[in-house]
Homo-oligomer: A and B are copies of this chain.
Amino acid sequence: MDKARTLQAALGELQNFKFFEGLAINEIAEICYGGRIIVNHHKQSLYVAGEAARGFGIVLSGAYKLSRPNPLGDETIVHFATPGDFVGLVIMSQLNSLYPVSSFAMGPSRFLEIPRTTFTEKWASRPDLIIKIQGLLSGRIHNLHVQKALTKAPLAAKIANLLLEILNKYEGNEAQLPVPLTRREIAENLGVSVEAVIRVMSDWSKLGIIETRDQQIRILKMDKIIQEINSSLLGG
């Protein structure tokens, strides 16, 4: 079966993610029982807010943005899910719940969707896995707290923090975000206007601090970016 072969290949991919380190391939196969690979192109939706939650899953490649409608009528991006990130985890602990956010591919992306029955049957009884999941959720809370602590900081600090946060999720010393990230998306994530984001990033481009090619952002002067985050101290 072609489908089976694809799934098999994906299971191998999972071994590269820290979460699955130390797990044997057949063990991974078991906890991914019933899983299917979903291949998306740019902007395609994985699911939308309000839909009944079929399951959760893991980003294999590319990236997905998770967004929730806000009271102003547009969308707020609450998370950028990169390879190895779990998506839909938040609602696995409740029965019969609805996805609280929508999910859209950023560039060509692949996702391994695992049915919720597999979660209740295979995951829920494995403390080691759930503890690890707890670690993932804790990490997300940590990031949200850091962002919260930056509320009063100037916009430049928030953008710098976001870029580094995303970049840190990738291995290696590459300073290029391997994902198409538009200025609008940054704005929707930080809860500010596109124009404001553009003004900050244009300045950075002129100063040679960053560079954008094909919506991929590359940081040229990492020290300057880091400086932005703490600059609030100095100014006064």
Contact = CB atoms under 8 A, between A and B. Distances in A.
Chain A interface mostly helix, strand, loop or mixed?
helix
Interface stretch (A104-112, A120-128, A177-185, A212-220): A120-128
A90 B130 contact: no
A127 to B, nearest CB: 5
A153 interface: yes
A134 B135 contact: no
B138 A78 contact: no
Contacts of A147: 148
A91 interface: yes
Contacts of A141: 90, 137, 140-141, 144
Given A93-B135, A126-B127, 8 more contacts: A70-B152, A78-B148, A93-B138, A94-B135, A100-B142, A141-B144, A151-B190, A152-B191
Interface stretch (A26-34, A202-210, A228-236): A228-236
Contacts of A157: 71
A93 B151 CA distance: 28
Given A125-B127, A130-B131, A137-B138, A151 B76 contact: yes
Contact of A131 (B76, B93, B229): B93
Contact of A150 (B70, B92, B101, B150): B70
